[in-house]
Chains A and B, each alone.
Chain A
Amino acid sequence: MTNPILPLLLFDGACAVCDRIGHWVQKAAHPRSGMATLEARAIGNDPTELRTLNPNLDIWDAYAIIHLLMPDGSMKTGGEAVAEVFRRLPATRWFAWCFAISLFGFKPFQQLLNLGYVILDDVRPIFGCDSCGTQRAWVKPIIRVVAWTKSLFGKSTTKAATPHFSQAANITPRPTSASMNKVG
C-alpha cells in the first residue's frame, strides 16, 4: 500500500541495478526519526494496477524510463525524476538545490544529471542487469570484456535470467502435414 500524499518512485524490479537503487531510496526516504519523504516500489506486471496510480501511466513507458509519480497527479521521468528524488531524500537534499540553477533558461546541473541518467541506463548491463532491454552498441564490447574478466576468476556475470532475443529472428516451425489448415 502506497501513501498517496508522498511521491512514488517506480523502478524495474527485474534489473539488479535498479532494484538496488530503488531499495536504497526506499530506505533513505524512511528515516528512523522524522517523516517519510518518498515511497519507492517495483513496477510489477499489472498494467491495470499501474493505471490506478496514474491514468496516464503506461507500463511499457514505466519500464523504458524511471518514473516518479507526484501527489498532484503529475509525473517526472528520467533525470528530472532523479533530481526530485535527491531533493526529497534527507541524505541528498543538501546538494540537490543545484539542479534548479538556471542560466538564461539553461539548467547546467540538471542537464548533467540527465546525461548521467542516460549513461547509467546504457551501462546497466555491465553491472548485471537482468532486464535492460536493448543493449547499446557501444556497451556490448565492454560487457564482453567484463564477462571475460569475470570468467577468468570463475565468476558468473549475471544471475540466471531470461534473455531478450535480438531482432534477428530464429524461426523454428514445427508444422505437421496433417495440421496445415487453411483459414479465412
Chain B
Amino acid sequence: MDTRMTHNAAGLLDRIQPLSGDTFNAMVLKGSGPIAVEFMSYGCGYCRAVEPFLQQAAEKLDGKEQIFRVNIDAEPEISASFEVEGTPTFIMFLGGREMGRVEGIQPTLANVMGVVTQPFDIQY
C-alpha cells in the first residue's frame, strides 16, 4: 500500500498522500474520519497554483481531516468512477460517502480551507 509521505525537490514535506487504484478503497471508501481528495494532474496550471495552499491546509488541519490526491492521468478509472470532469476537483468523503464536491478553486489558503472543511464543520 503506497501511503508514503514524500518530500518535494525543495526538501519540504509533501503532506498530501497520493492514491492509486490499489489504495483508494482502503484509504478513502473504508477510511475513517473526514477525508478530502483532490483530483488533479501535474500539467494543470490551476492545480499548481492551489498546491502550496493545499499543503498549508493539510498542515493546519493537523490530522483532523486527511487530504489525499488522485492524479487523473495516472488513475483514469478512479476519476471516471467519480465522474470527475476537470481538474482540480475536490471531493469530500465521510464514512465512504461523498459529502461534497468543488470544481475549480481560487488559490488562497482561506478558500482551500473552506473547500476541504465545508461539509464537516471542522474547527481549526
Which A residues fall within an 8 A CB radius of B? 12, 14-15, 43, 45-48, 51, 55-64, 131-134, 162-176, 179-184
Contacts and interface: CB of A to CB of B under 8 A. Distances in A.
Contact of A179 (B6, B94, B104): B94
A61 B9 CA distance: 9
Contacts of A132: 43, 45
A172 B41 contact: no
A15 B43 contact: yes
- Looking at chain B's contact residues, the main secondary structure is loop
A169 B105 contact: yes
B64 A183 contact: yes
- Looking at chain A's contact residues, the main secondary structure is loop
Interface string B10-47: 10001000000000000000000110000001111111
B59 to A, nearest CB: 15
Select the residue from A51, A133, A181, A183 with max chain B CB neighbours within 10 A: A183
Interface in B54-108: 64-65, 71-74, 79, 84-89, 94-95, 97-107
Contact of B104 (A45, A133, A168, A173): A168
Contacts of A134: 45-46, 49
Contacts of A55: 9
A184 B49 CA distance: 28
B48 A64 contact: yes
Contacts of A170: 102-104
A175 B104 contact: no
A97 to B, nearest CB: 33
Going nearest first, the 7 A-B pairs with the smallest beta carbon separation are: A133-B45, A165-B104, A58-B9, A131-B43, A134-B45, A45-B74, A163-B86
A182 to B, nearest CB: 5
12 contacts: A14-B41, A56-B9, A60-B42, A131-B43, A162-B85, A163-B86, A165-B88, A167-B107, A168-B104, A169-B106, A170-B104, A173-B99
